């Protein structure tokens, strides 16, 4: 198969939602249809609990939430599909935001009962910044929830998406009988926990067909007819160009836990979703069909397998062909690197690959060379854009609880910060370390992973801080004066950049007033040129 055919086979997308909307369950069902797993929870199961395939960290299984972005690949209808299942929990938003830079489209999962929730709004906002094409999947139709049209209005108002229903439910909760697939003109009858056998699908091109009444009953059939008529009058017809431009979002309904309505969405997805899209660097636009290889690191994960103490950098391939045992140029470090065992993923299962193409996500074993945002090329200096970072919102001093394990603690903090789990600041006055996170749950995750992956124990101590702001100043005298007057508030981050830890918004405003030549930044980009 030629390189162009390989690229055209690929579809890389992320699944985003608020926690508990059913995102990880949906991921599993997609893997079932792709034949990547044989039963839900099959990869990580025991007699007491079944864990989702994509949740492979121990803490994820205990808490029932996705903490790290999982990368999975499977084949379906001659397409190679790469799924990035992202954490829904707001405390891990930063990992999700970065992951969305590596996808070409997204599926947004919404709980029919809860509707559009806060985290969904934030994540869709990030997708819209890049005009990412989005499909909406309304989940849990086997439970009572909001009226379908009210929910469509909510999606349009809260998420700012122009929707186009491509499947519609027949009833809801106890009355749920199935869905009508407007995209294929098919009636799909619901069977709880079924495998959605072919005989459950009936082709009904004309909704006035008496077969509809026979299968779902006269009352439900009439209700469906009037609702479909309203849909065709109120909502725009599907237009693939508008979808690819991020201007129109198809809507599907179903029940992921029951494996229902998922196949309709997946079949449509493989037909309409974009192939690998161009990526932008500070220097130029990169076309996926270019001959020369390029890619960027969007995630780093230490101890993906705690037994082997491995650290893996996730590389999104943007152009050319990535080949095993080939020298590539690490732009930030200005050096050549070779990778003898690049891997592809099925959650925690990994296999070594010889080559990969645009759209693919490759795991590179890393001894500390990579940071998030790093570019790899065949020699060209390219600096990838749009990998966001945030000023932390919560801060705590981190103290060593076991003096015998100081080296392990230092190494653990160092590696976890490289992953982007949190940020660490070292105060200039006393060298004390402060960890800053987006949410409180990250502190628990850091503590847990330090103990179980590095054998180190830490304790936290509260510290009242408002913001961490990065400092820049082109005037040496002004910077010197600032450093003297603000000494007790200053720290350096992991990359040795100067940071002011402001105790309050008032303190930050006063510093800005008193030091007009100093620049205060609320973000620190991960890319090499800050």
Q: What are 123-156's pLDDT values in tens digits?
A: 888 788 788 999 999 999 989 999 999 999 999 9
Residues 180 and 121 in one domain: yes
Residues 330 and 406 in one domain: no
Which of 93, 150, 80 is CA-nearest to residue 120? 93
Question: Using alpha carbons only, what angle is made at residue 68 by residues 62 and 69, rounded to the nearest 5 degrees?
Answer: 135
The one-character DSSP state at 509 is H
Element spanning 231, H or E: helix 218-234
Half-sphere exposure of 377 (CA within 13 A, CB side): 15
Can you tell me whether residue 424 is helix, strand or coil? strand
Residues 288 and 435 in one domain: no
Residues 365 and 265 in one domain: no
Write the CATH number for 107: 3.40.50.300
Q: Is residue 78 part of a domain?
A: no
Residues 27 and 161 in one domain: yes
How many residues does this entry show for the chain?
530
pLDDT number for residue 178:
86
Return the bridge partners of 85, or none. Answer: 15, 70
Residues 325 and 407 in one domain: no
Q: Is residue 240 part of a domain?
A: yes
Question: Using alpha carbons only, what angle is made at residue 54 by residues 320 and 17, rounded to the nearest 5 degrees?
Answer: 90
Q: Is residue 440 part of a domain?
A: yes
Q: Which residue, 241, 272, 303, sits at the end of a domain?
A: 272
Residues 268 and 285 in one domain: no
The DSSP result for 169-215, as a single string, is EES-GGG--EEEETTTTEEEE--TT----GGGEEE-SSTT-HHHHHH
Is the Cβ–Cβ distance between 323 and 368 less than 8 Å? Answer: no
pLDDT number for residue 36:
61
Q: Is residue 510 part of a domain?
A: yes
Q: Residue 238: is it exposed, middle or buried by C-beta count within 10 angstroms (0-12/13-18/19+)?
A: middle
How many structural domains is the chain composed of?
Answer: 3
pLDDT number for residue 58:
53
Residues 169 and 287 in one domain: no
Q: Which residue, 342, 377, 412, sits at the end of a domain?
A: 377
pLDDT number for residue 104:
95
Q: Is residue 202 part of a domain?
A: yes
* CA atoms of 301 and 258, how far apart (whole Å): 32
* CA atoms of 257 and 266, how far apart (whole Å): 15
Residues 196 and 303 in one domain: no
Q: Is residue 101 part of a domain?
A: yes
Q: Which residue, 238, 272, 306, sits at the end of a domain?
A: 272
Residues 155 and 287 in one domain: no
Residues 28 and 154 in one domain: yes
Q: Is residue 382 part of a domain?
A: no
Q: How many CB atoms lie within 10 A of CB 90?
A: 17
With b for 16 or more beta-carbon neighbours within 10 A and e for fewer, the 53-76 pattern comes to bbbbbebbbebebbbbbbbbbbeb
User: Which residues of the chain are under the pLDDT cut of 50?
Assistant: 40, 42-57, 59-61, 63-69, 88-89, 91-92, 196-199, 308, 347-348, 526-530
Q: Is residue 111 part of a domain?
A: yes
pLDDT number for residue 310:
64
Composition of the chain by helix, strand, coil, percent to 5: 30, 30, 40
Residues 63 and 133 in one domain: yes
Domain containing 295: what range?
279-377
pLDDT number for residue 526:
37
- Alpha carbon 322 to its chain's center: 23
């Amino acid at each position: 198969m030629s390189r162009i055919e390989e690229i055209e086979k690929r579809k890389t997308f992320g699944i985003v939602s608020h926690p508990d909307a059913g995102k990880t369950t949906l991921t599993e069902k997609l893997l079932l249809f792709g034949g990547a797993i044989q039963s839900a929870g099959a990869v990580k199961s025991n007699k007491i609990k079944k864990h989702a395939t994509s949740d492979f960290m121990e803490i994820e299984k205990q808490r029932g939430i996705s903490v790290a972005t999982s990368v999975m690949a499977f084949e379906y209808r001659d397409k190679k599909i790469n799924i990035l299942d992202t954490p829904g929990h707001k405390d891990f938003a930063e990992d999700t935001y970065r992951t969305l830079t590596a996808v070409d489209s997204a599926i947004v999962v919404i709980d029919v009962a809860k509707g559009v929730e806060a985290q969904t709004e934030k994540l869709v906002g990030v997708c819209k910044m890049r005009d990412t094409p989005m499909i909406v999947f309304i989940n849990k139709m086997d439970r009572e929830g909001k009226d379908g049209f009210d929910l469509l209005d909510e999606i349009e108002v809260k998420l700012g998406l122009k929707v186009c229903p491509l499947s519609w439910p027949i009833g809801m909760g106890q009355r749920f009988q199935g869905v009508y697939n407007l995209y294929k003109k098919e009636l799909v009858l619901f069977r709880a926990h079924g495998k959605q056998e072919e005989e459950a699908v009936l082709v009904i091109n004309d909704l006035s067909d008496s077969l509809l009444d026979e299968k779902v009953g006269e009352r439900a059939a009439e209700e469906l007819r009037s609702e479909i008529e309203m849909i065709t009058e109120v909502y725009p017809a599907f237009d693939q160009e508008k979808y690819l431009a991020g201007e129109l979002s198809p809507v599907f309904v179903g029940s992921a836990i029951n494996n229902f309505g998922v196949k309709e969405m997946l079949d449509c997805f493989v037909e309409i979703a974009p192939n690998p899209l161009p990526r932008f660097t500070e220097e130029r636009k990169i076309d996926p069909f270019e001959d020369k290889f390029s890619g960027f690191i969007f995630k780093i994960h230490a101890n993906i397998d705690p037994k082997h103490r491995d650290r893996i950098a996730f590389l999104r391939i943007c152009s050319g062909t990535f080949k095993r045992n080939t020298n590539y140029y690490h732009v930030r470090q200005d050096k050549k690197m070779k990778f003898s065992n690049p891997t592809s993923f099925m959650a925690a299962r990994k296999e070594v690959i010889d080559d990969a193409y645009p759209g693919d996500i490759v795991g590179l074993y890393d001894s500390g060379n990579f940071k998030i945002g790093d570019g790899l090329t065949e020699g060209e200096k390219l600096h990838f854009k749009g990998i966001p970072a945030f000023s932390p919102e919560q801060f705590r001093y981190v103290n060593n609880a076991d003096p015998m394990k100081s080296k392990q603690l230092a190494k653990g903090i160092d590696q976890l910060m490289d992953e982007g789990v949190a940020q660490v600041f070292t105060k200039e006055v006393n060298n004390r370390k402060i960890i800053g996170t987006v949410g409180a749950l990250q502190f628990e995750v850091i503590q847990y992973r330090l103990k179980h992956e590095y054998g180190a124990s830490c304790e936290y101590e509260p510290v009242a801080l408002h913001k961490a702001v990065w400092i820049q100043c082109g005037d040496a005298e002004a910077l010197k004066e600032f450093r003297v007057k603000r000494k007790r508030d200053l720290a350096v981050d992991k990359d040795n950049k100067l940071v002011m830890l402001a105790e309050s918004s008032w303190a930050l405003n006063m510093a800005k007033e008193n030091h007009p030549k100093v620049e205060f930044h609320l973000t620190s980009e991960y890319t090499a040129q800050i």
